Amino acid sequence: MQDKVKVVIVGGGSAGWMTASFLSKALADGVDISLIQSANIKTVGVGEATFSDIHLFFEFLGLHEEDWMPECNASYKVAIRFVDWNAERRNFYHPFQRFELVQGWRIVEWWLKLKKDNVPADYACFTVPKICDAQRSPRYLDGRIFDSKLDGHLGPSENGDKALLLEDLHLQYPYAYHFDASLLSQFLSGYAKKRGVREIIDEVVDVRLTEDGSIRSIHTKEHGQIEGDLYIDCTGFRGLLINQALKEPFISFSESLPCDSALAMQVPSDRKKEGINPFTTATALSAGWAWNIPLFHRIGTGYVYSSAFLSREAAEEEFRQHLGARADGCNALHIKMRVGRNRNSWVKNCVAIGLSSGFVEPLQSTGIFFIHHGIEQLVNYFPGKRFDEANIKSYNRVIGNCIDGVREFLTLHYVASSREDTRFWKATKNELVVPDELAERLKLWERRLPTDRTINPNYHGFPGFSYCVMLLGLGRQPKYSLPALDHASDRHALAAFDQIGKRTEHLLSTLPSLYEYLTFRYGEGEPTLYRDGTKDKGVAA
């Protein structure tokens, strides 16, 4: 048996402990993992919302929701609600559901043709928006997911093909999570240490290199010299290893993504009185946008803004006005964001994971996703004790393409928004650098809705339906519907819209509220009476 590969992770937080947990499970007895964590450096802790791929992380670790959710004050997320992002100030949702197929075409194409009852696309094509409005849980109290055997093709096609179920379409999970990132780090540290990860609480005082520029050792204040074969930089925006020691250049995205600052708050909530929203909220403000992430025990909130248009003091004043009395007595944590990515996330024998690798605005909850994606790819490209340049180059291409793809998707949020009422929102139309390929796609999307084949082709976590939802919600609607639909019967489409409406009403009448579900699951009492006067624990009729 070969000697174990010594892995040294520098930095804790979500990135460090997610990496330690995943590697300790994936590589089992083949690695010796140490994690160096400072007692004096606090994690940023603003990445508390996720999207649905995070299920794969917990499933791989063998963790069930009942294992970790109560420990992390976690809740469910089925969508993002965008508030005031268009000139009309119409709110809209970006759900985890995908569009159904009717006669081989996505139902949103039929919506564009029929404009049925002038209902917005998100409400016409999905069940999720009304579930969000009613604060419903995505699970019944007996554990079943609300669309686990539904939401495939709605009815037979013209040629009689069998209707497909959710599983057959390989759809995303219908929900993700909100959680306290600090508590998740603590939980995963316990998981990792049980699997043999060595935690070192100490301060890094020096990083020493070999003649070829690789890292030879990490020197700490109390534990002295620590050597490894592979070093993983999880030190956040500092980039202690990748940028400071190895001098890897950082590529800024400021030309396309204008917000470079944030302030974050933890504010109280009365979950019994207010309920718990099963969605993240992104509210456009004068020089950026505010997030609202409802956890079981509190709300995580903050303001992402451009310092070119708003001072730190003015941003906090505007944000406190936005929150109202809820912000009284709450401290604001101000953060200078480094938006962009390293030219390479893997250099020599060092791999950067998390904020030290790359970061975009948290507009679509991609912070945890970048960590998870970076770890999975590291396992796929794991070097052992030999470092192959072709292997490293391929890893860097995959990671770079992913982050660049998210950059393109988020740039769309600003340039496609019809809002132009402040200096900031005017600048998003006139001053941002739009990547050439995105500019070309935008011209196409003036005539046709995006599809999986017309968006950025590199994997970045967002399929074509996400682009459709955002463009329509932001105020960009194609001039034409698909010409082919003029030669097809509307009958099945009209029936599909009707089925979505009926399915929505059924879910609203049978699903428990998210507060009821979490209270029941967390063992704080029996659920309240349901609308039919029973305590049937949310079992569907």
Q: Strand 215-220 vs strand 224-226: parallel, antiparallel, or unpaired?
A: antiparallel
Q: Give the pLDDT confidence score for residue 540 in this predicted structure.
A: 32
**CA dist., res. 105 & res. 111, Å (int):** 11
Q: Strand 261-267 vs strand 333-336: parallel, antiparallel, or unpaired?
A: antiparallel
Assign 320 to helix, strand or coil: helix
Q: Give the pLDDT confidence score for residue 131 in this predicted structure.
A: 97
Across 240-264, average pLDDT: 97
pLDDT digits (tens, 9 = 90+) for 294-331: 999 889 999 999 999 999 999 999 999 999 999 999 99
CA nearest to 369, candidates 62, 40, 54: 54
pLDDT higher than threshold 80 for residue 172 = no
Across 54-65, average pLDDT: 95
Q: Give the pLDDT confidence score for residue 308 in this predicted structure.
A: 97
pLDDT higher than threshold 60 for residue 528 = no
Assign 528 to helix, strand or coil: coil
Q: Can you say how many angstroms the Cα of residue 385 is from the centroid of all Cα atoms in its chain? A: 33
Name the DSSP letter for residue 195.
Answer: T
Q: Give the pLDDT confidence score for residue 527 in this predicted structure.
A: 40
Structure tokens at 510: 């049978």
**CA dist., res. 113 & res. 482, Å (int):** 8
Q: How confident is the model at residue 464 (pLDDT cuts 50, 70, 90)?
A: very high
CA nearest to 492, candidates 61, 161, 67: 161
Give, in order, the Cα–Cα distances in Å from 493 to each of 258, 319, 464, 481. Answer: 41, 44, 20, 14
pLDDT higher than threshold 90 for residue 238 = yes
pLDDT higher than threshold 70 for residue 382 = yes
Nearest-5° Cα angle at 200, 25 to 266: 85
**CA dist., res. 174 & res. 491, Å (int):** 28
pLDDT higher than threshold 60 for residue 153 = no
pLDDT higher than threshold 70 for residue 279 = yes
Q: For the chain, how many residues are written?
A: 541
pLDDT digits (tens, 9 = 90+) for 101-152: 999 999 999 999 998 668 999 999 999 999 999 999 999 998 889 875 443 3
**CA dist., res. 436 & res. 433, Å (int):** 9
CA nearest to 60, candidates 379, 309, 324: 379
Do 46 and 366 contact (CB within 8 A), yes or no? no
Q: Give the pLDDT confidence score for residue 151 in this predicted structure.
A: 38
Beta bridge partners of 305: 261, 288
Q: At what angle do helices 13-26 and 181-194 cross, to 10 degrees?
A: 30
Across 417-427, average pLDDT: 97
Structure tokens at 421: 């009422």
**CA dist., res. 442 & res. 453, Å (int):** 14
Residues 6+ apart with CB under 8 A from 203: 38, 39, 40, 220, 221, 222
Residues 6+ apart with CB under 8 A from 342: 239, 242, 243, 248, 249, 250, 251, 352, 356, 357, 358
Is-catalytic flag, 77?
yes
Q: How confident is the model at residue 45 (pLDDT cuts 50, 70, 90)?
A: low
Across 352-379, average pLDDT: 96
**CA dist., res. 393 & res. 390, Å (int):** 5
The better pLDDT of the pair 385, 354 is held by: 354
Residues 6+ apart with CB under 8 A from 99: 106, 107, 108, 125, 465, 468
Across 172-193, average pLDDT: 92
Q: Give the pLDDT confidence score for residue 521 in this predicted structure.
A: 83
Across 345-368, average pLDDT: 96
pLDDT higher than threshold 80 for residue 428 = yes
Number of other CB atoms surrounding residue 150 within 10 Å: 16
Give, in order, the Cα–Cα distances in Å from 81 to each of 11, 93, 179, 306, 469. Answer: 33, 4, 18, 21, 11
Do 277 and 294 contact (CB within 8 A), yes or no? yes
**CA dist., res. 457 & res. 421, Å (int):** 34
Give the whole-number percent of the chain exceeding pLDDT 90: 83
Give, in order, the Cα–Cα distances in Å from 52 to each of 49, 58, 59, 153, 177. Answer: 10, 11, 12, 21, 8
**CA dist., res. 49 & res. 51, Å (int):** 7
Give the whole-number percent of the chain exceeding pLDDT 70: 90
Between 167-171, 336-340, 399-403, the lowest mean confidence (pLDDT) is in 167-171
**CA dist., res. 131 & res. 153, Å (int):** 20
Average pLDDT over the chain reads 90
Catalytic residue among 4, 25, 77, 348: 77
pLDDT higher than threshold 60 for residue 76 = yes
pLDDT higher than threshold 90 for residue 384 = no
pLDDT higher than threshold 60 for residue 438 = yes
Q: How confident is the model at residue 524 (pLDDT cuts 50, 70, 90)?
A: low
Between 297-301, 319-323, 353-357, 418-422, the lowest mean confidence (pLDDT) is in 297-301
Do 221 and 38 contact (CB within 8 A), yes or no? no
Q: Which residue has the tokens 């990792």?
A: 192
Q: Give the pLDDT confidence score for residue 44 in this predicted structure.
A: 54
Q: Give the pLDDT confidence score for residue 386 in this predicted structure.
A: 87
pLDDT higher than threshold 50 for residue 168 = no
Residue 324 backbone dihedrals phi, psi, to 5 degrees: 75, -145
**CA dist., res. 461 & res. 195, Å (int):** 30
Q: How confident is the model at residue 43 (pLDDT cuts 50, 70, 90)?
A: low
Q: Which residue has the tokens 């007595």?
A: 329
pLDDT higher than threshold 70 for residue 356 = yes
Q: Give the pLDDT confidence score for residue 88 in this predicted structure.
A: 94
